[in-house]
Structures are given as structure tokens and as C-alpha cells.
Structure 1
Amino acid sequence: MRDYLLTLCVTVAVTYLLTGPVRKFAIAAGATPEIRARDVHREPTPRLGGIAMFGGLCAGLLVADHLQNLNGVFELSNEPRALLSGAALIWLIGVLDDKFEIDALIKLGAQMIAAAVMVMQGLTILWLPIPGFGTVSLTQWQGNLLTVALVVVTINAVNFVDGLDGLAAGLVCIASAAFFLYAYRLWFGYSIEEAAPATLFAAILMGMCVGFLPHNMHPARIFMGDSGSMLIGLVLAAAAISITGQVDPDAMELWAGGERNATHAMLPVFIPLVLPLTIIAIPAADLVLAIVRRTWNGQSPFAADRGHLHHRLLEIGHSHSRAVLIMYFWAALIAFGALAYSVHSASTWIVLMIMGLSAVGLVLLLLPRFSPRAPRWAQALVPPRYRHSTRQLEGDAPEFGELEAEPVTVGVSGVNGATAVGPRSRFPDRRKVDSAR
């Protein structure tokens, strides 16, 4: 565990320290796009934060290669090199997109090429556990096709959810934390060496997100851009593929008492990691809803809009920070709930706890609808925002200083000799008061 913590801390430090210079470079390079109609931020913010995250990835892999307990991952497996090559390719495409706005189809093709590069180096799914049948071996083309599909879906799921300050980095950090605990349990709890690369990938991914979050929380000083969102999506997919498709089913039988029992024992987390629907359930759901919504409206599935889950949270009355925290809550509930259920699937209290926390999450979602409105007799006892809501509902007159709708002619001549018309304030004209004095 100490080696993983050291790798995590180095990745955090490098990512955090690089983000400041990267922000200055992004501003100098002109990677500060204008605010679009679908954006929720109010000031132009530089992108290219993925450069710092890629630096953290390289630093984490370099440190792990020189640690005694982790260098075996590089000696016995080619997966770290496969990850680095695929990540470098997708990161380069993301950097170009952050600067020059590459077409969506070109990015999709680059994502498939990056996935194919990892497949060619051995990072692929070899078998799947199917409930009721045990483990099903895949042919080479089936495994390769499923691997490419998983990588592309995960990259776009993370990319689609990157719409609020700190949202994508926080969700992936939560997912990678749950993933790390799951992989670490297989590696050190059951001595399954095939889980070692996935454990390392999850630790490094956590470090990348934690190091970038201080610069990306609301109000964000820099965005990760496609160079960052596609990068962390690819790393998350690589970790899922590594542990799902590479873990030997025979090793599972040793502690589960048979192939079929092993499949059922791992099912709560095993199958979701393949697709993946548990670890990144929130981004995956947002991706599916976005594709259905845009296709139904006759738009391209890659056409940007303001219909994502985080946009809907803002529309119903949540603040920016509260919307992000609510998404964090649901992501943690799904990821760690599935993790806890995979460990103690026979425990009833885990199911009851998940149901109770889900009820709390629903209350948080509907919180703006429960905003209290004080009665007239209690207005003096409550904050001003509740008094203002009550008066607006009852149709009272506006407070002193609020604008009225009546036009008033001011003494400023226009270009054609006309006078400007504007709203009249109930504040007295300070210039007239001064002249009267």
C-alpha cells in the first residue's frame, strides 16, 4: 500500500504543480475560446488542462517503474506501455481539439485508433463471466471489438459529463477510488497478480484528478478540455479492461469454490466493469440520454446542447456548487454501493443503507421545490430572501430602490435629437439634490 500511496502523491504533486504553468501557456497560445450558448461559465477560461494531467500520468508510471513492489507490473505485463501509447495518442488529439476545434467524427476515429493501439499491445478482453453459464471465452475479433467499444463509450461518457467546474474530475476520482479498492482487494486479498496493473492505473488516475481539482473547482481557473476528459476516460477504460478481461477465472475458483460460484460472487462489480455501468453510471446514463435526445430532435449525436443532467440540475434551481455535489453524491453511492455489495452480497443492511441513501439523494434533487416561504406575520424573523419571495407571490409593491416600468425622459440627447427613454428609479437623482443644496 505504501508504494501505491507514494505513486499517488507523486502524481498529485506533478499534476498540481504543472497546472499553473499550463494555464499561462494556454492563455498565451490562445486556447481560451469565447463563451458559447451552452456554457454555464461567465468569463472566458483557458483550456488545455489535460497537458498537466498527462504529465502526472507519465510521472506516476515513471515512479512506479522504479519501486521494488511495483516494477514487476512493467516486467511481467505490457499493459503499462499499452496504456501510455494509447493515452499519448488520445491526449495529442485532445490538445489539437482544444486549440483548433477538430470535427467530432475525426475525434471518434482517433478514439478508435487509440483503442486499437492498446489492443495491439495486449490490453484486451479475453473472457467474460456470464451468470448461469460461468466464464465464456471470446475469440480474438470478439475481444478486440468489445475492447474498442468499451474504450470509445467510456471516453465519450466522461467527455459528455464535463460541463461544470470540477464535475468530470470529481466523478472520475470517485470512480477510480472505488475501482482501486476493488482491484487492491483482488491483488493483495486473493493474490491474483493479474489485478496489479489495474490497481496501479486506478491509483495514478486518482492522483491525476486530485491534483487537477484545486484549479478546476468553481470558479474554475482552467478547464481540462478534451485533452483531459478523453485522457482520464481512456485510463479508466484501460483499468476496467485490464481487470475484467485479464483476471484468470481459474484463480477465482480457488477462493469461490467453483467457476459458477466465482462468477456469481464477482457479478455485482464484474459485469458492470465490462460495460461499464456501475463505476461510471452517471456519465454513461448522461451519454445514453444525450444520444437519444439529439437523435429524437433530428440532430447529430455529437451536437452539443444544454440538456445534460448537470444542466437540468441548474434549471430546477440548484446552484453551480450544489449541482456538482449532488452528482458527486450519486456517483459515490452507486460506485461504493456496488463495491460494498460485491464484498457482502448476503448482507441485508447494505441494501437497506443503499435504499436509505437513495431516498436522501432524491430529497437533495428536489430541494429547490421545498424552499420555505414565510407568512406575512413572520417576515421580520426570517432572512430577506424569504421575505422577498413572499411579497412577490402576494403581489406587494417593490421595495425601495427597485425599478419601475414607467418610462421617463432623461436629459441625454440621441444622435438624431431624440431623447433616451429608460426605467425610472425610486431613488432620488443625486445630481438634483446636490444642486438644490
Structure 2
Amino acid sequence: MREYLLTLCVTAAVTYLLTGPVRKFAIVAGAMPEIRARDVHREPTPRLGGIAMFFGLCAGLLVADHLGSLNEVFVRSNEPRALLSGAALIWLIGVLDDKFEIDALIKLGGQMIAAGVMVMQGLTILWLPVPGIGTVAVTQWQGTLLTVALVVVTINAVNFVDGLDGLAAGMVCIAAAAFFMYAYRIWYSYGIEAAAPATLFAAILMGMCLGFLPHNMHPARIFMGDSGSMLIGLVLAAGAISVTGQIDPDNMELFAGGSERSAVHQMVPVYIPLLMPLTIIAIPAADLVLAIVRRTWRGQSPFAADRGHLHHRLLEVGHSHSRAVLIMYFWSALIGFGALAYSVNSASMWIVLSVVFLSAIGLVLLLLPRFTPRAPRWAEGFVPPRYRSRRSAVDAPDNAGQEPSEQECPEDGPTPVAAAVAGVNGATALGARSRSGKGRKVRI
């Protein structure tokens, strides 16, 4: 465990320290797109944060290669090299998209090629544990199709949810933490070394997200862009493929006590979330499916951007930016760690009741703006604006610091003295603004 923590900390440190210089590079390179209709932020913000995350990934793999027990992962398996190859390819495509806005179909083709590169180097699904049946071997082309599909779906699920400051990095970090516990339990509790690569991938992924989050929390100083969202989606998918499709359930037969079919059946609570990594990132996956259905129903391309994502709907309901992100964190943690608890002890009713109770709390949080108390009119001057009635806020706005209305201004315009004073004040304010540099929207 100490070696995993060291790898996580090194990855987080490298990502954190490089994000600042990468931000300056993104500003100089012009990777700052104009504000679009679907964007939530109000000022141009640099992207290319995936550059720092990629070098954090490389640093984590390099450190792990020089640590005692983790070095055996590189000796006995080619999966770390396969991950690095696929990650480098998808990262380059993301960098080009952050700078030049490449076509969506080109990105989709690049995602499939990156998945194919990992398949060619051995990171692929070899068999599937099916409940009640046992291990089902898949042919080479079936394993390739399943692997490519899983990688593409996971990448786009993470990419679709990257719409608020800190949302994608935080949700993937929560998913990686739950995934790390899954893989670590299979390796050390059952003595299966084939789960070691997936455990390492999850630890590195947590480090990448934790190192980037301080720069990406609201208000974000930099966005990860497609170079970051597609990268962390690929790493998460690679870990799921490694631990699900390459661990032979025969190795668990002694521990499960029975035949291979019995072993697989008893390990269903563990394998189902691993076989379906979308269970861990269920919120992004649901957002992906809803977006495809919504856009197809309207006659649009599934890749056409809009403001119908789940986080946009939370903002429309009345949640603040930070509260919407925390609500998404809550649901991701509930689903991910609920599946983890169920895999450890699926016979406990307390786990089911706890999940149901927390789900009820989550529903209350979703509808919280509708339950916001409103102060009576006589007390509205003593409470924050959000507790005042909407009608009062519209009918009686605060006139302090506002320009006079048209009815208050003379029809012939200001007097010469007033115009002269205004001109002097305006020139003084403009000179102070230019000297202080506060007129710039982006600080390097």
C-alpha cells in the first residue's frame, strides 16, 4: 500500500506543479476559445490542462517501475506499456482538438485507433465471467470489439460530463478510488497478481485528478480540455479491461470452495461493477445516453453540443455552480462506493438500507432550491438576496451604485459642468485601469 501511495503522491505533485506553466503556455499558444452559447463560464479560460495530466501519468509509471513489488507489474505484464501507448495517442488528438477544434468524427476515429493500439499490445478482454454460467471465452475479434466499445463509451462519457469547473476530475477521482479498492481486494484478498496492473492504473488516475483539481475548482484557472477528459477516460477504461477480462476465475476456486461456476457465482458482486465500469461512472454514462437520445430525437447529430446535460439542468433548477458540482460528487460516490460495499457483503440488509436512505437525501438535495425558505417582507432587508421573494427582488432593486434611469436624466443632456466633471473622472479611471492592468481578462 505504501508504494501505491508514493506513486499517487508523485503523480499528483507532478500534475499540480506542471499545471501552472501549462496554463501560461496555453495562453501564449492561443488555446483559449471564445465563449460559446452552451458554456457556463463568462471569461475565456485556457485549456490544454491534459498536458500536465499526461506528464503526471508518465511520472507515475516511471516511479512505479523503480519500486519493489510494483516493478513486477512491468516485468510480468505488457499492460503498462499498452496503456502508455494508447494514452499518448489519445492525448495528442486531444491537444490538437483543444487548439484547432477538429471534427467529432475524427476524434471518434482516433479513440478507436487508440483502443486498437492497446489491444495489439495485449490489453484486451479474453473472457467474461457470466453469472450462473461461468467463464465464457471470447474470440479474438469479439474481444477486440468489446474492448474498443468499452474504451470509446467510457472516454465519451467522461468527455460529456466535463462541463463545470472541477466536475469531471472530481467524479473520475471518486470512480478511481472505488475502482482501486475493487482491484486491491482481488489482488491481496485472493492472491491474484493479474489484478496488479489495474490497481496501479487506478492509483495513478487518482493522482492525476487530485493534482489537477486545485487549479480547476470554481472559478477555474484552466480547463483540462479534451486532452485531459479523453485521457482520464481511457485510463479508467484500461483498468476496467485489465481486471475484468484477463483474470481467470479458476484462480479463485480454492477460495470460493467449489467449482469454477460456483466461484464465479460467488464473485458476481465484485465482477459485475468491474465488467460494467459504467456502473462506477453511472452519472456520466446516463448523461451520455440522454444526450444521444435527446439530440437524435431533435434530428441533430449525437455529437452536436447543447445545454441539456445534467449539470446544466441542475443550474437551471436553481443550484449554484459549486452546489451542482457537489451534488454530482455525492451521487457518484453513492453509486461507486455502494457497489463496493455490496461486493464485500452482498447479504447485508444494512448496506441496502443505507443506500436507500442516502438516495433519499440525494433527492432532497436535488430539489433543494424549491425548498428554499423565503423571508417575510418586513425582514427582507436583514437576509441575503437569495432568501427574498423573487417579486420583491424584481420590483424593488437596489439602486445603490446604479446609473439613473432615463426619466431622471434631463432631455437636453447633462450640463457642461457635469459633463466636464464626468470626463475628468472617466479619464482618471481609465488611466488607473490601464496602469493597474485590471482591464485584462486573463492574467498570465
Q: Which residue does 1:95 correspond to in 2?
A: 95
State the alpha-carbon separation in 2 of the partners of residues 345 and 239 from structure 1. Answer: 23
The 5 Å alignment of 1:38-117 reads 38-117=38-117
Q: Is the 8 Å Cα contact of residues 35 and 43 (structure 1) preserved in structure 2? A: yes
State the alpha-carbon separation in 1 of the partners of residues 47 and 265 from structure 2. Answer: 44
Q: Secondary structure at the match of 2:42?
A: coil
Q: Which residue does 1:422 correspond to in 2?
A: none
Q: Which residue does 1:178 correspond to in 2?
A: 178
TM-aligned CA distance change 1:388 to 1:112, over 3 Å: same
Shift of 1:158: 0.4
Q: Secondary structure at the match of 2:135?
A: strand
Shift of 1:61: 0.3
Instruction: Tell me the C-alpha RMSD between the 2 structures.
Output: 2.2
Q: Which residue does 2:220 correspond to in 1?
A: 220
- When structure 1 is superposed on structure 2, of 290-299 and 248-257 the one drifting more is 248-257
Q: Which residue does 1:24 correspond to in 2?
A: 24
State the alpha-carbon separation in 2 of the partners of residues 209 and 60 from structure 1. Answer: 13
State the alpha-carbon separation in 1 of the partners of residues 90 and 350 from structure 2. Answer: 43
Q: Secondary structure at the match of 1:135?
A: strand
Instruction: Tell me which amino acid in the other structure corresponds to 2:238.
Output: A
Q: Is the 8 Å Cα contact of residues 150 and 274 (structure 1) preserved in structure 2? A: no
Q: Which residue does 1:132 correspond to in 2?
A: 132
Instruction: Tell me which amino acid in the other structure corresponds to 1:351.
Output: V
Q: Which residue does 2:437 correspond to in 1?
A: none
Instruction: Tell me which amino acid in the other structure corresponds to 1:58.
Output: C
Q: Secondary structure at the match of 1:132?
A: coil
String of CA shifts for 1:310-346, please: whole Å, max 9, x gaps: 0000000000000000000000000000000000100
The TM-score, its normalising length taken from structure 2, stands at: 0.89
Q: Which residue does 2:148 correspond to in 1?
A: 148
Q: Is the 8 Å Cα contact of residues 373 and 389 (structure 1) preserved in structure 2? A: no
State the alpha-carbon separation in 1 of the partners of residues 304 and 83 from structure 2. Answer: 29
State the alpha-carbon separation in 2 of the partners of residues 364 and 31 from structure 1. Answer: 36
TM-aligned CA distance change 1:412 to 1:180, over 3 Å: farther
The 5 Å alignment of 1:378-417 reads 379=380, 382-383=383-384, 385-389=386-390, 391=392, 401=400, 407=407, 410=410
Shift of 1:110: 0.4
Instruction: Tell me which amino acid in the other structure corresponds to 2:3.
Output: D
State the alpha-carbon separation in 2 of the partners of residues 9 and 157 from structure 1. Answer: 26
Q: Which residue does 1:294 correspond to in 2?
A: 295
Instruction: Tell me which amino acid in the other structure corresponds to 1:26.
Output: A
Q: Secondary structure at the match of 2:102?
A: coil
Shift of 1:400: 5.5
TM-aligned CA distance change 1:363 to 1:133, over 3 Å: same
Structure 1 unaligned segments of length 5 or more: list them.
414-418, 420-429
Q: Is the 8 Å Cα contact of residues 326 and 361 (structure 1) preserved in structure 2? A: yes
The 5 Å alignment of 1:326-405 reads 326-376=327-377, 379=380, 382-383=383-384, 385-389=386-390, 391=392, 401=400
TM-aligned CA distance change 1:232 to 1:374, over 3 Å: same
State the alpha-carbon separation in 2 of the partners of residues 86 and 135 from structure 1. Answer: 28
Q: Which residue does 2:284 correspond to in 1?
A: 283
- When structure 1 is superposed on structure 2, of 403-412 and 370-379 the one drifting more is 403-412
Q: Secondary structure at the match of 2:267?
A: helix
TM-aligned CA distance change 1:162 to 1:398, over 3 Å: closer
Structure 2 unaligned segments of length 5 or more: list them.
422-444
Q: Is the 8 Å Cα contact of residues 26 and 46 (structure 2) preserved in structure 1? A: yes
Instruction: Tell me which amino acid in the other structure corresponds to 1:232.
Output: I
Instruction: Tell me which amino acid in the other structure corresponds to 1:154.
Output: T
Q: Which residue does 1:426 correspond to in 2?
A: none
Q: Secondary structure at the match of 2:68?
A: coil
Q: Which residue does 1:199 correspond to in 2?
A: 199
- When structure 1 is superposed on structure 2, of 144-153 and 275-284 the one drifting more is 275-284
Q: Which residue does 1:232 correspond to in 2?
A: 232
Q: Is the 8 Å Cα contact of residues 216 and 223 (structure 1) preserved in structure 2? A: yes
Q: Is the 8 Å Cα contact of residues 178 and 340 (structure 2) preserved in structure 1? A: yes
TM-aligned CA distance change 1:29 to 1:376, over 3 Å: closer
Q: Is the 8 Å Cα contact of residues 376 and 390 (structure 1) preserved in structure 2? A: no
Q: Is the 8 Å Cα contact of residues 150 and 237 (structure 1) preserved in structure 2? A: yes
TM-aligned CA distance change 1:123 to 1:412, over 3 Å: farther
Instruction: Tell me which amino acid in the other structure corresponds to 2:42.
Output: R
Instruction: Report sequence identity in percent.
Output: 81
Instruction: Tell me which amino acid in the other structure corresponds to 1:196.
Output: A
Q: Is the 8 Å Cα contact of residues 240 and 274 (structure 1) preserved in structure 2? A: yes
TM-aligned CA distance change 1:289 to 1:385, over 3 Å: closer
State the alpha-carbon separation in 1 of the partners of residues 370 and 164 from structure 2. Answer: 22
- When structure 1 is superposed on structure 2, of 372-381 and 99-108 the one drifting more is 372-381
TM-aligned CA distance change 1:409 to 1:73, over 3 Å: same
1:317 paired to 2:313: no
Instruction: Tell me which amino acid in the other structure corresponds to 2:26.
Output: A
Shift of 1:269: 3.9
Q: Secondary structure at the match of 2:47?
A: coil
State the alpha-carbon separation in 2 of the partners of residues 412 and 208 from structure 1. Answer: 63
State the alpha-carbon separation in 1 of the partners of residues 412 and 172 from structure 2. Answer: 56
Shift of 1:386: 2.6
The TM-score, its normalising length taken from structure 1, stands at: 0.91
Shift of 1:103: 0.2
Q: Which residue does 2:254 correspond to in 1?
A: 254
